[in-house]
Structure 1
Amino acid sequence: MGRTRYEATEIETRKLLTMHGGFHHRASTLRLYTRRNEGGQGLMSVRATVQDKTTKIQENVRKMAPKGELLSEYLRQQKPDDAEEEEEEPSWRDKPPHGMYHRQIEVADSKKSYQWLEKAGLKDSTEALITAAQEQALSTRSIEAGIYHTRQDPRCRLCKDTPETVQHIIAGCKMQAGTAYMERHNQVAGMVYRNICTEYGLEVPRSEWKTPPKVV
């Protein structure tokens, strides 16, 4: 299978993923094929699959060659150039703006930062939305003004004060400080509370959304 057929198959695969919400059309294709423990979505590419199977077949042939004249002759006539050389792929982390999030968290524990990709068990659509947000692939006003050039004003549609980036929407908009951000904070604190209750044998709230008492 030639490279053109590899690429055509992978393009069709990404189209299907996009149609069903498993991949954002502006997200990084490099990250899509990166292992989950390295911050990617872990999809095995057609090319990598073929290369892996080819390598295993060649290893098996070398192992069995001493037992058969035909395999020995095959190895003797095989040229080094017959095997497709594996090229080093560029990393999504080096791509602006896709790698901006990773570069910002370099001071943190990268392995733990990407642990959710392996253990969270999210829906494909939810995972695709989160990774697209991390890669600056969502159409915020800042992206529309600075990259797509489809608008002139990059300011936030709520506070109308700061450029509307993903980071600003998630944690920097003063209009959401007392509502969405507070609700998110309380949900995280509620999980900490439940874990403490479990650790020390206290009564654990039945519902994850139940507001804990002020003093326990």
Structure 2
Amino acid sequence: MEFGMNKCKTLHINRGKWQNEEQASTLNNEHLDNMQPNEYYKYLGILQNRKVDHTALKTQLKEQYRKRLSKILKTELNSKNTVRAINTYAIPLLTYSFGIIKWSKTDLENLNILTRTQLTRFRQLHPNSCKERLTIERKEGGRGLTDIHEIHNKQINSLRKYFKEKNTSLHQAVTIADANYTPLNLNAENIPVSNILTLEEKKNKWSQKQLHGKHCHIMNNPDIDKELSYSWLQKGQLQPETEGFIIAIQDQVIATRNYRKYIIKDRAQQTDTCRRCHLQSETIEHITNGCKLLTGTEYTLRNDFVGRIIHQEIAKTYKFIQEEQPYYKYTPQSVFENDTIKLYWDRTIHTDRTVTCNRPDITLTLKKEKVTYIIEISVPNDNNITKKYEEKISKYIPLTQEVERIWQQKEVKILPFIISSTGLTHRKFKENLDILNLKGHIHTLAQRAVIIKTTNITRSFLKQ
């Protein structure tokens, strides 16, 4: 085994000051050059000379962090894996230096800003989206990114606790000697650590925002199933760009005419009237569900996507079809029927008495049990979920009475399936799936289809 002399140099320090030795040192008759003041050696991953150059190291780490972020964001990972890669590949590059390099509160905030800037650059975060939401857990409606400021303070506190609790002479000597030489400042009894927001504090700050907070207030509706509504975030199967865009829609920061005129006060925007129908104010709610010119086309197709997913699963469950197709390719057959099951798709039910609403999306009849299910699909705006569910029930009560009488059924049930345009789900959705003996993944498929279609509608609308 040979000693790598070509990697070695000497450094002479006298009373903390660098000394320039004219004669080079030798070791085993090998020539060793002297280190210069602008040269550094790496010890445990940290560049050092007479002392640690905190400014130079922070600049270097920040640049390496930026490069790793860019490398991750250029990949084709889905949204959840992209965040996971940032948390496990990019951010640990910084956390290794916490406790060694002196990062100020401003430095840490600049790192968080760099993260958001890079995400925006790669179209994975809207620049006006709620920044607190980025570091909130996915099950709570956030994107699950590690808060650099938070992890810095936790690591400082953890290292201080470790040294303070150790009783060995070495640890005690280090504790006495560290009088603000390191970020730990072990000699001090307590050091002021800037406050970090807890999860609840972040959520409160988010909810208190006039624009971003509207989504939080809607989520407080007892008729909304929070777990199902955020299941698309927890599964993270969307592309990062789509995830960032639907969150921007929920945060209501999309550049509609109403937003540009009244929120950001764009003087060039003279009117907030819808660019398509010219009838109402062009808000994000109007684009996703209120424009009359899209009612018979885009909105109907989005409803049908959910209906196709449910219809295909019912048809597969009762052996009417053998192979499953993607929902956007599946064309439901108007009638499926055998000795035990009758399944209608978008078919008028004729009755003796005049019934206004007699064409449900799906009708399923179990002949032996003499039970009929009237299945209705709706994709309203977020704030209309409760209203739409009650509307579907009241709308089809006359039809249920007629079907029960004419078809001689023991029971006729109305099963509304309500998912909002941004994926918020009515609490009865899962219960209604269980009534039909359908699997839970149906909600995942339906929610994903709705979100993708909503983003497509919004993008197409804004391009005109």
TM bin, normalised by shorter chain, reads 0.7 to 0.9
Cα-to-partner distance string for 1:159-186 (whole Å, 9 max, x where unaligned) = 1111111111111111100000011111
Measure, in 2, the Cα distance between the counterparts of 1:195 and 1:53: 50
Q: Is 1:103 matched with 2:217?
A: yes
The residue aligned with 2:334 is 214
Deviation at 1:190, TM superposition (A): 0.9
One of 108, 117, 131 as aligned partner of 1:15: 117
RMSD of aligned Cα (Å): 2.3
Q: Is 1:71 matched with 2:185?
A: no
Secondary structure of the 1:125 match is helix
Deviation at 1:59, TM superposition (A): 4.8
Q: Is 1:136 matched with 2:252?
A: yes
Measure, in 2, the Cα distance between the counterparts of 1:72 and 1:2: 26
Measure, in 1, the Cα distance between the counterparts of 2:122 and 2:147: 18
The residue aligned with 1:179 is 297
One of 218, 228, 234 as aligned partner of 1:112: 228
Cα-to-partner distance string for 1:128-177 (whole Å, 9 max, x where unaligned) = 10000111111001111211222232121111111111111111111100
Structure 1 103/83 Cα, relative in aligned 2: closer, same or farther at 3 Å? Answer: closer
Deviation at 1:84, TM superposition (A): 4.3
One of 315, 318, 335 as aligned partner of 1:197: 315
Measure, in 1, the Cα distance between the counterparts of 2:324 and 2:260: 44
Partner amino acid, structure 2, of 1:212: P
- Once the two structures are superposed, the pairs formed by residues 137-156 of structure 1 within 5 Å of their partners are 137-150=253-266, 151-156=269-274
The TM-score, its normalising length taken from structure 1, stands at 0.87
Deviation at 1:82, TM superposition (A): 4.7
Alignment check: 8 A CA contact 2:123 2:244 kept: yes
Structure 1 200/49 Cα, relative in aligned 2: closer, same or farther at 3 Å? Answer: farther
Deviation at 1:50, TM superposition (A): 1.2
Measure, in 1, the Cα distance between the counterparts of 2:309 and 2:160: 51
Partner amino acid, structure 1, of 2:208: D
The residue aligned with 2:411 is none
One of 80, 85, 102 as aligned partner of 2:190: 80
Alignment check: 8 A CA contact 2:258 2:282 kept: yes
Secondary structure of the 2:292 match is coil
Deviation at 1:201, TM superposition (A): 4.0
Alignment check: 8 A CA contact 2:153 2:193 kept: no
Structure 1 182/85 Cα, relative in aligned 2: closer, same or farther at 3 Å? Answer: closer
Alignment check: 8 A CA contact 1:205 1:212 kept: no
The residue aligned with 2:129 is 27
Secondary structure of the 1:178 match is helix
Alignment check: 8 A CA contact 1:27 1:132 kept: yes
Secondary structure of the 1:179 match is helix
The percent identity for this pair of structures is 28
Measure, in 1, the Cα distance between the counterparts of 2:158 and 2:318: 52
Partner amino acid, structure 2, of 1:69: S
Measure, in 1, the Cα distance between the counterparts of 2:130 and 2:152: 22
Which stretches in structure 2 are left out of the alignment for 5+ residues? 1-102, 177-185, 337-464
- Bigger-Rg structure (1/2): 2
Cα-to-partner distance string for 1:56-104 (whole Å, 9 max, x where unaligned) = 43454466x14x2343573995422354443554522221111212312
One of 104, 117, 125 as aligned partner of 1:2: 104
Partner amino acid, structure 2, of 1:165: T
Measure, in 1, the Cα distance between the counterparts of 2:255 and 2:261: 10
More helix by share: 1
Structure 1 199/93 Cα, relative in aligned 2: closer, same or farther at 3 Å? Answer: farther
More strand by share: 2
Secondary structure of the 1:80 match is coil
Secondary structure of the 1:91 match is helix
The residue aligned with 2:423 is none
Measure, in 1, the Cα distance between the counterparts of 2:296 and 2:288: 13
Measure, in 2, the Cα distance between the counterparts of 1:97 and 1:134: 10
Which stretches in structure 1 are left out of the alignment for 5+ residues? none
Partner amino acid, structure 2, of 1:92: W
